[in-house]
Chain A
Amino acid sequence: MSELIEKLLAGDKRAVARAITAIENYEDETEAIIKEIHKYTGNAHVIGITGPPGAGKSTLTDKIVKNLIAKGKKVGIIAVDPTSPYSGGSILGDRIRMQDLALEPNVFIRSMGTRGYLGGLSKATHNAVKVLDASGVDYIFIETVGVGQSEVDIVKTADTVLMVMVPGLGDDIQSIKAGVMEIGDIFVVNKADLFGAPRTATEINMMLDLNQNMKRRPPVLLATAGKNEGIDELVDELEKHREYLNETGELTERRLNNTRMEVIELIESELRKIVINHTEEEGRMKKCVEDILAKSTDIYTVRDEFLKSIRG
């Protein structure tokens, strides 16, 4: 076992930071790290915090984490912000709302850019969670980018999804559309001191009551993170959800599903490389594309020919 892994497992922050950097940038190192730490993962309660931009996700995370560390818990936080599609750069600003946590010995915060991923997380987030998990934290919070309507990748990584809403984002039809509204395990209307908060909560409740197929009806809470109001209740609900997951076997079921998806994605990604190498060899793709535009063949015929030659 390498020195980095040993330190990481002992909870050394520098080692954890280095491992996450490796995971964000280098595929072969990621593989080596994950293989070594795999057996030490699966212990932390992974909580996804998602919701529209400006809903107060970072402030809420800050307050929940303070509540947990006061109880002696260890916490890891991954905060994702968008990467510019133009320059590839990003401004990661979630730490601004978590300044007091920087020096907490039992808290580790890491900011990540999405780097081209559109589901609300980055490609490396899932593996970064494993690193934090292996480092011995009790809770991992993943704060997604501000989501719109369909960034739902967080369900593939988190055990519990906390959906943060705010008053005044639109009428109730917004809450019955498909997408992010379907993935919340717990809903919280933040900035509850603003006009319209009870109504927003009612609309969410009505939307949830329409769904008859739910195994568990998610609770809807009110909170004002900036004033530290409603945080105890939220932390209680997080605990209740964790208990529910354990007691019903739902946790195992979710993790089985997610791991299955993860393996499929890894295979897809390797297959994609094989396909690209094959099609780009000797300018085959360029020739085919020109033929398609010249109408001498079509996209489906070309697909079948490629598949045939790849299979050998």
Chain B
Amino acid sequence: MEKPIRVLVAKPGLDGHDRGAKLIARALRDAGMEVIYTGLRQSPEQIVAAAIQEDVDVIGMSILSGAHNHLLPKVVELLKAQGADDILVFGGGVIPEDDIPGLKAQGIAEVFTPGTTTTETIEFIKNNVKRH
């Protein structure tokens, strides 16, 4: 059997809205991926520790609190420190268009805002996963 893509779906920050995270987890499951969901209010340190232990290929983070400019790059930075920056990192949620170029420059491979179809996200993962 082909190795399934392993994805950590994480909710950094303090907002309690996980509808989006659960929806994307379900869509990735239906696309044949192994999704590790770690629940609400995760610190970047917790997310990276889980990603290392689970040996995931991808981290997807859903954030609606407005703290994306701090939390998402922090995850990339911690991954780099561990030598694990071959993990594909993407974000989603209510993130202003103006913030997206800055996030990409800091190593977030893509940012999906409301209106993105799950098919687009799945295609993005399949085409960009680095270490699968």
A residues apposed to B, CB below 8 Å: 13-14, 16-18, 20-21, 24-25, 83-84, 86-93, 95-96, 99, 102-103, 108-111, 113, 115-116
Contact = CB atoms under 8 A, between A and B. Distances in A.
Interface string B12-55: 00000000000001101111111111110010011001101111
B49 A102 contact: yes
9 contacts: A13-B53, A25-B3, A88-B1, A92-B34, A99-B38, A103-B45, A108-B53, A109-B54, A110-B54
Given A93-B39, A102-B46, 8 more contacts: A17-B55, A24-B3, A88-B32, A89-B30, A90-B29, A91-B29, A103-B45, A111-B54
B4 interface: yes
Q: Determine chain B's interface SS by DSSP, over half rule.
A: mixed
A91 B26 contact: yes
Given A89-B30, A89-B32, A110-B54, A102 B38 contact: yes
A84 to B, nearest CB: 6
Contact of A90 (B34, B52, B53, B54): B34
The CB with the most chain B CB atoms within 10 A, among A87, A91, A115, is that of: A91
At the interface, is chain A mostly helix, strand, loop or mixed? mixed
B34 A113 contact: yes
A96 B31 contact: no
Contacts, number: 85
B84 interface: yes
B38 A89 contact: no
B127 interface: no
Given A90-B34, A92-B36, A99-B42, A84 B55 contact: no
| Chain B interface size range | 20 to 34
Nearest to A79: B36
A96 B34 contact: no
Nearest to A14: B52
A84 B30 contact: yes
B55 A18 contact: yes
Most buried by A among B29, B46, B52, B53: B53
A298 to B, nearest CB: 33
A89 B46 contact: no
A241 B1 CA distance: 39
Given A25-B3, A87-B31, A91-B26, A103 B36 contact: no
B29 A89 contact: yes
Nearest to B38: A95
A109 B45 CA distance: 15
Contact of A13 (B4, B39, B52): B52
Given A84-B30, A89-B34, A99 B39 contact: yes
Contacts of A20: 55
A56 to B, nearest CB: 16
Interface in B47-91: 49-50, 52-55, 82-84
Given A84-B30, A103-B46, A92 B55 contact: no
A87 B30 CA distance: 5
B53 A109 contact: yes
Contacts of B37: 91-93, 95-96
B55 A89 contact: no
A103 B49 contact: yes
Given A90-B29, A91-B25, A103-B45, A14 B82 contact: yes
A103 B36 CA distance: 16
